[in-house]
Amino acid sequence: MPELPEVEVTRQALSPHVTGQIWVGAVIRESRLRHPVPQELASSDPQQVLQVRRRGKYLVLEMSHGALIVHLGMSGTLRYLTQAVPAQRHEHVDLLFADGSLVRYRDPRRFGALLWVPRPPEVSGAPFWQTHPCFSRMGLEPLEAGFDGAWFYRVTRGLKGAIKPLLLEGRLVVGAGNIYACESLFLAGIDPRRAAGRIGLERYHRLAQAVRQVLEQAIQAGGSTLRDFVGALGEGGYFQHQHQVYGRTGQPCARCATPIVQIRQGQRSTWYCPRCQRF
């Protein structure tokens, strides 16, 4: 998908255009996403967009009366348009604003989701939408305080599974999908097959730093555009040109020229350098 960097790039481009807008409803052309698009979006009461937030790979539009949670699946994008133009194929939903502008959701493979969480009556401390089931079991935000090598080392003691699927899973730390999990492990010099519980403190310092660095650089580069991804203003990312291992089967490692290897871990491809990444 859109992994954390692509979602953050979308959020950053979207936020200045939609924060403060009055949301007046939606056009739903295709409701068959991962979950059916709630029909009440179409005829919602006019309400203000207060904030555009991100949690892991989810975007959250905080509104006066609730929160619209957006997941981009494998192939989803959100575009901000100042006025309606005819919708093309796979452009399933428009969020309409009072001034005639709109946010258009496109998702060819329809693995994404739009969810509505009504705002509860009482004021609570943490954002109200965080209690939604899709955020339970979510790990730390890698770009926020608390994610560091010491923490990573501590929470992985006793884990027998390989480190790469653990990164993908998001149970401990969110945001790295297949691209950025592979890239982070390359930067940290760790073999993706190594059991998480057998990696030492020093290497977890390097891994935490690598995850942060890869995600931050990808955000700066506008994300990775493999096929579908564009930001909220239609701009493609160019971090794919900085990929060191992802998708580079047989090509020479940029550091040591050893051919990059592709393996299979839990139904997903993993790419790594067999020389630079130690077991």
Partner DNA sequence: AAATAATCCTGCGGGC
Partner DNA sequence: TGCCCGCAGGATTATT
For this structure, is 160 an active site residue?
Answer: no
Give least dist CB 114 to DNA, A: 12
- Output 96 or 219, the one with its CB closest to DNA: 219
Give least dist CB 20 to DNA, A: 28
Q: Which of these segments, 43-51, 59-67, 210-218, 224-232, binds DNA (CB under 7 A)?
A: 224-232
Three-state secondary structure readout of the chain: CCCHHHHHHHHHHHHHHHCCCEEEEEEECCCECCCECCHHHCCCCCEEEEEEEEECCEEEEEECCEEEEEECCCCCEEEEECCCCCCCCCEEEEEEECCCCEEEEECCCCCCEEEEEECCCCCCCCCHHHHCHHHCCCCECCCCCCCCHHHHHHHCCCCCCEHHHHHHHCCCECCCCHHHHHHHHHHHCECCCCEHHHCCHHHHHHHHHHHHHHHHHHHHCCCCCCCCCCCCCCCCCCHHHHCCCCCCCCCECCCCCCECEEEEECCEEEEECCCCCEC
For this structure, is 30 an active site residue?
Answer: no
Q: Which of the residues 11, 54, 57, 104 is marked catalytic?
A: 57
**Residue 2 contacts DNA per CB under 7 A:** yes
**Residue 90 contacts DNA per CB under 7 A:** yes
For this structure, is 2 an active site residue?
Answer: yes
Pattern 33-72, binding to DNA, x per CB under 7 A? Answer: -x---------------------xx-------------x-
**Residue 267 contacts DNA per CB under 7 A:** yes
Q: Rule CB under 7 A: choose which of 234, 269, 278, 279 binds DNA.
A: 269
In the complex, the residues that contact DNA under the rule CB under 7 A are 1-3, 32, 34, 56-57, 71, 73-75, 89-90, 108-111, 134, 159-161, 165, 168, 170, 177-179, 224-229, 246-247, 266-269
- Among all residues, which ones are annotated catalytic? 2-3, 57, 268
